Amino acid sequence: MSTVLYDTPGPKARRRARVITAIVLLALAGFVAFLVVAFVSPRTSVSGAELRPLSDPSLWVILNDRAIWRFLLGGALATLRMAALAAVLAIVIGVLFSFLRTARSRWIRLPSTIVLEFFRGMPVLLMMLFVLLVFSTGAYWAGVTALALYNGAIIGEILRSGVAALPRGQREAGLTIGLTPLRTRFLIEFPQAVRNMLPIIIAQLVVLLKDTALAYVISYDDLLFRIDTMRKGDGNLIFTLFLVALVMYLAINLTLSTVARLVARRVRPGGPAPRIPKRGVFGRPTPTVSDPMATSQGTSAP
């Protein structure tokens, strides 16, 4: 692997790299061995009682129960249901917000900016609690509303900066051929902005999916809540259940992230990215689309 930061490694550097690699691999192996040993050794509780080791089959036997899996999958479906509806609403709200924020009239622009900053600055959990208690809607709608408003505000910002990043000529051309400013925005600027910003928007939707787990705190009957209900049924299963939850959430999220990435790649303006990407300092390709929100929004997602 060569970058411009350092010379192509010569024999001595290569040898050193091999030695360090060997040491690291050894350390990793030791760590894994430690985990395995900790897993099978018996534990003692605080009061001195002998507890079963983590590898004890009685702690894992529930995984064989199909009814339990059906129960958990029901929870996963609840998660996805909330995410799907919230995502659709978030896009609608985002479009609305981006229009409001770029309105020519100050009386529309300023209040909507304040409202938008308010939604962005509040924790999603707080919004969920607010909707739940003030409008007494039940956990599902509280979660959907809060997620839609919060992510809608962020998507609105993404779209707005997407429109702002377009060459001015686009807007001017639209006005020249007689379109009203509104129709210019709708017919010319918006479609381009959406295409440019699609990867970031989809990334935000994946964040939305992760945030549905927050509804657990307001007792929405999703996957995490069901895992927790089972934990309350038998506290010793916590480790088993935690691993199950981890695997299930990783599966769902990684699948969606990968799908999102594939879709983003195919929908890019100008077709899929060229095969020879520009190389940055570390030898990795730099993003070729100028997306001002790429570093700020894509990484700040909670």
Partner 1 sequence: MTAVLDNLDILVSGFLLTLALLAIAGVGALVLGSIVAGLRVSPIAPLRAIAVGYTEIFRNTPLTLVLLGSAFVLPFLGVRFPGLSPQQFYFVLAAIGLTLYTAPFIAEAIRSGINSIPVGQAEAARSIGLDFGQTLTLVILPQAVRVVVPPIINVLIALTKNTSVAGGFFVVEMFASGRLLIERTAQAVPVLLAVAVLYLVVTVTLGLIASFVEKKVAVLR
Partner 2 sequence: MRFRSTRTAKFSLGALAVVGALVLAGCTDSSAPDPETDPTEESSGMPEVPYADGTTMADLAAAGTIRIGVKTDQPLFGLTNAATGDPEGFDVEMGKIIADQLGIDEANIEWVNTVSSNREPFLQTDQVDIVIATYTINDARKLLVGFAGPYYIAGQDILVAAGNPEGITGPEWFSENPDKTICTQTGSTSITNIGEYTSNILASGSYADCLEPIRNGQAVAVTTDNVILSGLAYANEGEFELLNAPFTEEPYGIGVPLEDTELRSWINDVLDAAFTSGEWARAWEDTVGVVIDLPDSTPTVDRY
Q: Which residues bind partner 1 (CB under 8 A)?
A: 1, 3-6, 9, 17, 20-21, 24-25, 28, 38, 43, 117-118, 120-126, 129-130, 133-134, 210-214, 216-217, 224, 228, 231, 238-239, 242, 245-246, 249-250, 253-254, 257, 278-282, 284, 286-287, 294-302
Chosen from partner 2, partner 1, none, partner binding at 4 (C-beta under 5 to 8 Å by type): partner 1
91: closest CA among 198, 212, 186? 198
Give the per-residue SS3 of 144-193. Answer: HHHHHHHHHHHHHHHHHHHHHCCCHHHHHHHHHCCCCHHHHHHHHHHHHH
Nearer to partner 2, 233 or 274 (CB): 233
Distance from C-alpha of 153 to C-alpha of 119, rounded to nearest angstrom? 7
Chosen from partner 1, partner 2, none, partner binding at 202 (C-beta under 5 to 8 Å by type): none
**Phi and psi for 274 in degrees, rounded to 5?**
-65, 160
Which residue(s) pair with 184 in the sheet?
none
Nearer to partner 1, 69 or 282 (CB): 282
Nearer to partner 2, 154 or 244 (CB): 244
How near is the Cβ of 214 to partner 1 at its closest, in Å?
6
Chosen from partner 2, partner 1, none, partner binding at 38 (C-beta under 5 to 8 Å by type): partner 1
Chosen from partner 2, partner 1, none, partner binding at 282 (C-beta under 5 to 8 Å by type): partner 1
Give CA angle at 291 (302, 270), nearest 5°.
Answer: 125
Is the CB of residue 203 less than 8 Å from the CB of residue 302? Answer: no
How near is the Cβ of 162 to partner 1 at its closest, in Å?
17
